């Protein structure tokens, strides 16, 4: 069987994601689509609206055949490590290609840009440091550094999906280019759009805004019926979907009960940020107001959210760096269809990494971090906290026939 891969968060799964999966099948000609999906916490430093199990069900109903988990250490890291961990897992599972959405839609352009940037890497790194030293955030500094290269880039690396796609291509090249990059052009909605537009495709950002600020039915047109049903069920049972506000009391406790020196030991807390966090926390009664007070020109909202996430989960720098220095050490299966099960059976003997379906039978460091962070995520459950805590250990892979 021939497999292709996608890297996803599905927060939540919407019509644009459905389009991406269908086009991935078309351009790759694959029999099986493998989705590498972030767990309960996401790359922008946010808790997912729904647990990884419910988002796995969405992925399988939407067209994926096999869903595996991107470990917390990679899922909540900056773009290069996020991309590397994802592509490494897809290549380890024998995928021949991977397909990502981009503003460009031109796969050859990504390879050409990689070669061009690589040939001017010294200049790029020097310019990157120069712009960071002026107080720019990393994404802004990187965009300016690309613009400052001697040979102009044809690919616009100020666009979020182009940037992430470029990192996917860079990762595939680092891994020996055995897994082929493919891309399709994003339809209609821009990644950062906050309003529901015309047509039936909107950004996940706009959908989340609609879900939290108004009647969930206003977003129904932009998602498959199974997504709407799962969101509506969650909202009905728990009163609200998961967000930072539900975890904010726990973050406040972590900050106010810890010394500045202890907070500084957590990953991505740098340059005195611990003092700003403590000061802001004492006067803010919501996560949004806390973030607005914490925000500076140097740090993006995403960068600060990730720092908050690691404080919330008490992720120490040495533990995170130890995991990021090496590729993922296992493949955790979250769910599959009959076709996905058939593919897994066909490649099982040729996979070098151990396959994990039951967490309690393994003791990998990455799984320990997953269990720890899932326990924290469960504290945001409005009801049945004890049951939510046990999900990490008791939930078998989701099966959709």
Nearest to 113 by CA among 73, 150, 166, 163: 166
Whether the link from the prior residue into 337 is cis, omega within 30° of 0, is no
d(Cα 108, Cα 117) in Å, to the nearest integer?
A: 14
Residue with tokens 């917390």, as numbered in its chain: 72
Q: Which residues, 6+ apart, have CB-to-CB distance to 285 below 8 Å?
A: none
Contact by Cβ (8 Å): 114, 170 = yes
Helix (H, G, I), strand (E, B) or coil at 158: coil
d(Cα 328, Cα 324) in Å, to the nearest integer?
A: 8
d(Cα 230, Cα 12) in Å, to the nearest integer?
A: 10
d(Cα 163, Cα 70) in Å, to the nearest integer?
A: 19
Annotated binding site for ATP: 7-20, 101, 161, 186
Annotated binding site: 7-20, 101, 161, 186
Q: Which two tokens stand for residue 309?
A: 């996430």
Contact by Cβ (8 Å): 37, 334 = yes
Q: Which two tokens stand for residue 293?
A: 């007070």
Contact by Cβ (8 Å): 55, 25 = no
Q: Which residues, 6+ apart, have CB-to-CB distance to 400 below 8 Å?
A: 57, 60, 61, 335, 336, 337
Cα separations (Å) of 119 from 47, 125, 149, 164?
A: 38, 12, 10, 20
Q: Which two tokens stand for residue 73?
A: 């250490």
Length of the chain: 401
């Amino acid at each position: 069987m021939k497999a292709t891969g996608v890297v996803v968060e599905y927060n939540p799964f919407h019509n644009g994601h459905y389009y991406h999966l269908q086009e991935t099948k078309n351009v790759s000609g694959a029999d099986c689509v493998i989705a590498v999906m972030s767990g309960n916490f996401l790359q922008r430093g946010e808790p997912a609206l729904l647990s990884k199990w419910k988002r796995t069900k969405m992925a399988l109903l939407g067209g994926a055949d096999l869903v595996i988990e991107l470990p917390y250490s990679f899922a909540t890291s900056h773009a290069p490590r996020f991309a590397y961990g994802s592509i490494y897992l897809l290549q380890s599972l024998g995928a021949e290609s991977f397909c990502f959405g981009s503003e460009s839609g031109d796969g050859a352009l990504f390879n050409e840009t990689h070669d061009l940037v690589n040939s001017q890497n010294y200049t790029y790194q020097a310019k990157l440091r120069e712009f960071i030293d002026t107080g720019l955030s990393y994404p802004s500094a990187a965009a300016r550094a690309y613009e400052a290269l001697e040979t102009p880039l044809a690919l616009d690396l100020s666009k979020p999906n182009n940037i992430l796609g470029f990192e996917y291509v860079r990762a595939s090249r680092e891994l020996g280019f055995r897994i082929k990059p493919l891309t399709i052009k994003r339809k209609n909605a821009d990644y950062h759009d906050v309003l529901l537009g015309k047509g039936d495709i909107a950004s996940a950002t706009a959908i989340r805004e609609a879900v939290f600020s108004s009647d969930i039915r206003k977003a129904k047109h932009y998602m498959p019926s199974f997504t709407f049903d799962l969101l509506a069920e969650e909202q009905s049972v728990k009163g609200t979907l998961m967000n930072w506000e539900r975890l904010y009391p726990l973050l406040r406790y972590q900050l106010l009960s810890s010394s500045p020196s202890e907070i500084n030991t957590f990953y991505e807390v740098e340059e005195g940020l611990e003092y700003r966090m403590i000061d802001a926390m004492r006067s803010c009664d919501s996560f949004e107001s806390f973030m607005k007070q914490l925000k500076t020109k140097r740090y993006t909202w995403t960068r600060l959210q990730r720092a908050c996430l690691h404080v919330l989960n008490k992720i120490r720098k040495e533990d995170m760096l130890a995991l990021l220095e090496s590729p993922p050490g296992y493949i955790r299966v979250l769910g599959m269809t009959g076709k996905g099960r058939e593919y897994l059976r066909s490649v099982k003997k040729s996979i070098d990494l151990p396959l994990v379906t039951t967490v309690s039978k393994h003791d990998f460091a990455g799984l320990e971090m997953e269990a720890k962070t899932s326990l924290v995520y469960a504290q945001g459950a409005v009801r049945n906290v004890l049951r939510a805590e046990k999900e990490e250990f008791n939930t078998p892979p989701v099966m959709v026939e």
